[in-house]
Structure 1
Amino acid sequence: MADQLIKVITKDEAFRAFALDGTKLVEEAAESHETSRLATVVLGRALLATEILAQASLKGEERLNVKMAGRGPIGQIVTEADTKGAVRGYVSNPEIENIVNDHNQLNVAGAVGNNGAFTVTKFAPYSNPYIGQSIMVSGEIGDDFTYYLTHSEQIPSVIGVGVTMNPDDTVKAAGGFMVQALPGATDAQLADLNQKLQDMPALATLLGRKEGPLAILDAIFGDQNYDELQAMQIGLAAEPAKEAYAAQLATLPSHEIQAMIDEDGGAEIRGKFSGKKHYFTAAELDTILQEVLKREADDEKQKEQDEQENDTKKD
């Protein structure tokens, strides 16, 4: 079964909510980036929360980028998502060693840190990017997304994300939810929601049921107490083709490409977001080099023509 995100509204129209099962996408991200057990949990939580945020706040061809810099040992966490269900991301230190808390559980907050900035950049066609910022408040990631929405965008929200690992460091379950209060929500309804969130089972337990994301929504609102608005498949963003990386290499100066040929006999490029490697042979680099040399020659020729025209105007 493919990873899925479901959007609903409660029958009393007090809340809208999103729930997702992203077990496969987190597992694929872990494999691509060769993350440690702790890094898998951190990156997984960030990917899940970013996907939820994108579906809750974007439309059309918009996309968003989230950067978390809590100054912890895992370094910066960067994620991106669009409206079509595609998400990608990376952490600066994917090989971080396990850190545990007093309960001998993975210490996500200790790895991420809570002394830095949380930045969301939204991109829309034909307009300037919108940048929103808040502070890192816990390093648990879900809490940090919640704080951003509540304090930066003034949207009362709760985001919860979780990644549970198997003993062999593979992903057992990964998912999350977001609940947002609508204008008609009363204080009593908000208090009742808060209690239900505190009493709900662990996400891993809920995702183990056949209902998937619906099990999360049932645990929060009760069975049949909401109307489904949308269901969509989600997953990792497609890896750019090798040609895209060749185009990036073609932007380098010719002497740098020549050095790759002479010193290394080729080049290996690893996608920052995908973690996947692409290898360019010396012959492939030479083809790119010839294009760059032609471009540099054309640029030099144009520069000489411009200088001659300027000299003529002065005379």
Structure 2
Amino acid sequence: MADQLIKVITKDEAFRAFAVDGTKLVQEAASSHETSRLATVVLGRALLATEILAQATLKGEERLNVKMAGRGPIGQIVTEADTKGAVRGYVSNPEIEPIVNDDNQLNVAGAVGNNGSFQVTKFAPYSNPYIGQSIMVSGEIGDDFTYYLTHSEQIPSVIGVGVTMNPDNTVKAAGGFLVQALPGASDDQLTELNEKLQKMPALATLLGNKKGPLAILDAILGEPNYSQLQSVSIGLAAEPSKDAYAAQLATLPSHEIQAMIDEDGGAEVRGKFSGKRHQFSAHELDVILQDVLKREAQQKNEEAQDDDSDAANSADEKK
């Protein structure tokens, strides 16, 4: 069964909320990017928070890109998501060594850093991108998304994301939630919500329940107190085909492709977002090279014809 994101609204219309179980998604991303234990947790949190943000703020064919640069040792964190449940991302240093806090737990904030920028770029068909910015406030990911929504989007919100690892470095559980106050929320309701958030069990515990994301919503809102609006299957965005990467290689100058053949006997292309590798043999590169040489020859002929035409026009003008 695919990972699920569920959107609900409370029956008193005071809050809307999203909850997601993305355990399979995060494990697949970790396998593709060959991430260390700490990098898996960081990337997993970022992917889940980005998909939640996309579902909460986008419409139709829109998509968004998130860039977090907290100046920590993991480097930049880049993620993208759309309204259809597809998400992808990467971290600059996927092999980061463990950093632990005083409780001997993985120190996500120490890896990410909190002295940098948080940027969200939204893309919509036939319009210019919208860029929203804030600062990194903790490096814990969820807090940074919460700060962005509250201060840049002016939406009172709380985002929580978590990734729990097994001893063998596989993903035990990965999930998250977003709760947003609607105009009808009273101060008493906001206080009650905050108390429930403080007391809620760990996400890994809740996701161990057969109810999946609904268990998270039950813990925050109370089981009978909300109505489900939408359920979305989520997963990693589709990887471009090898043919698509071949087309990209064909945009290079012929001398660069020739160097790959002569010096390396082939080429390896690795998708930055997917982490997947594609091998191109010397023969495959040579096929691409022949097409590039034909293109370059055609361009030279066209340029020569243009030069001849300019020279002829200049001669006519002198007459």
TM range (shorter): over 0.9
Equivalent in the alignment of 1:198: 198
**Letter of the structure 2 residue corresponding to residue 206 of structure 1:** L
Whole-Å separation in 1 of the counterparts to 2:304 and 2:185: 70
Equivalent in the alignment of 1:35: 35
Equivalent in the alignment of 1:12: 12
Question: Which range is displaced more, 181-190 or 106-115?
Answer: 181-190
Deviation digits for residues 251-281 of structure 1 (CA, Å, limit 9, x no counterpart):
1000000000011111011111111110001
Whole-Å separation in 2 of the counterparts to 1:222 and 1:63: 32
Unmatched 5+ residue regions in structure 2? Answer: none
Equivalent in the alignment of 2:163: 163
TM-score (norm 2): 0.97
Equivalent in the alignment of 1:89: 89
How many angstroms does 1:307 deviate by? 2.2
Equivalent in the alignment of 1:70: 70
| 3-state DSSP of counterpart to 1:229 | strand
Whole-Å separation in 2 of the counterparts to 1:195 and 1:102: 26
How many angstroms does 1:299 deviate by? 1.3
Whole-Å separation in 2 of the counterparts to 1:82 and 1:222: 29
- Asked if residue 50 in structure 1 is aligned to residue 47 in structure 2, the reply is no
Within 5 Å, which residues of 2 pair with 1:218-237? 218-237=218-237
Within 5 Å, which residues of 2 pair with 1:1-315? 1-315=1-315
Deviation digits for residues 88-118 of structure 1 (CA, Å, limit 9, x no counterpart):
1000000000000011100000000011111
| 3-state DSSP of counterpart to 1:38 | helix
Whole-Å separation in 2 of the counterparts to 1:258 and 1:270: 19
Aligned alpha-carbon RMSD (Å):
0.8
Whole-Å separation in 2 of the counterparts to 1:131 and 1:299: 38
Deviation digits for residues 14-40 of structure 1 (CA, Å, limit 9, x no counterpart):
110000000000000000101000000
**Letter of the structure 2 residue corresponding to residue 144 of structure 1:** D
**Letter of the structure 1 residue corresponding to residue 203 of structure 2:** L
| 3-state DSSP of counterpart to 1:239 | coil
**Letter of the structure 2 residue corresponding to residue 77 of structure 1:** I
**Letter of the structure 1 residue corresponding to residue 45 of structure 2:** R
| 3-state DSSP of counterpart to 2:223 | coil
How many angstroms does 1:187 deviate by? 1.1
Whole-Å separation in 1 of the counterparts to 2:96 and 2:57: 32
Whole-Å separation in 1 of the counterparts to 2:294 and 2:115: 49
How many angstroms does 1:66 deviate by? 0.5
Whole-Å separation in 1 of the counterparts to 2:222 and 2:175: 19
Whole-Å separation in 2 of the counterparts to 1:299 and 1:113: 49
How many angstroms does 1:311 deviate by? 2.6
**Letter of the structure 2 residue corresponding to residue 116 of structure 1:** G
| 3-state DSSP of counterpart to 1:224 | helix
Unmatched 5+ residue regions in structure 1? Answer: none
TM-score (norm 1): 0.99
**Letter of the structure 2 residue corresponding to residue 266 of structure 1:** G
| 3-state DSSP of counterpart to 1:106 | coil
Whole-Å separation in 1 of the counterparts to 2:251 and 2:244: 11
Whole-Å separation in 2 of the counterparts to 1:101 and 1:88: 28
| 3-state DSSP of counterpart to 2:231 | strand
Aligned length: 315
How many angstroms does 1:2 deviate by? 1.9
| 3-state DSSP of counterpart to 2:224 | coil
Whole-Å separation in 2 of the counterparts to 1:125 and 1:104: 47
Whole-Å separation in 1 of the counterparts to 2:173 and 2:115: 29
Whole-Å separation in 1 of the counterparts to 2:21 and 2:173: 8
| 3-state DSSP of counterpart to 1:121 | strand
Deviation digits for residues 224-261 of structure 1 (CA, Å, limit 9, x no counterpart):
10000001111111111100100110010000000000
Whole-Å separation in 2 of the counterparts to 1:41 and 1:159: 16
Whole-Å separation in 2 of the counterparts to 1:237 and 1:204: 24
Identity of aligned residues (%): 84
How many angstroms does 1:305 deviate by? 2.0
Whole-Å separation in 2 of the counterparts to 1:298 and 1:115: 51
